[in-house]
Amino acid sequence: MLTIDRLTLQLPYYPRWWRREWTTCIESLSLHLQPGEVHAVVGASGAGKSLLAYAIMGLLPQAARVSGELRFQGEDLTPARQRQLRGHQLALIPQSLNALDPLARSQHQVRWAAQRAGFGRSAAHQRADELLSRYQLSHASTHYPHELSGGMARR
């Protein structure tokens, strides 16, 4: 369960190089998501959809001002908790496929992610094979990102 209560997010901007001002990107957003529910965040370009995801994941710029409460399974989403959950129980699928290394094959990218999640080298290799199989991508394990469809790359 994910609960967001009165989330407000501000980012700095500099109308003149010597003066910092703040712009409010998200103001007093509250929502409650239960396991198994599907929701859509809809808005115009620049409305803050990605910033909401970054706030949940703990990936905002250091200069961001954040207020309100974020809880996952009843526990506060502190920066340490976000790092602990990231890649295990919380994940973000980027809008752009530019997040993939264009020079690395699919299996290498999944293996690197498994290693970052704490798997040892051989366990990460095995985990990559398991995940590629689970998401019906075994046939694409030797493909580069530009050889994948958009849906395949997101999986």
User: N- to C-terminal Cα distance for the chain?
Assistant: 23
Of 95, 115, 93, the residue nearest 104 (C-alpha): 115
pLDDT in tens, 91-129: 887 766 677 788 888 888 889 888 887 889 999 889 989
pLDDT in tens, 4-31: 999 999 999 988 888 999 999 999 999 9
Q: Is the pTM of this model over 0.85?
A: no
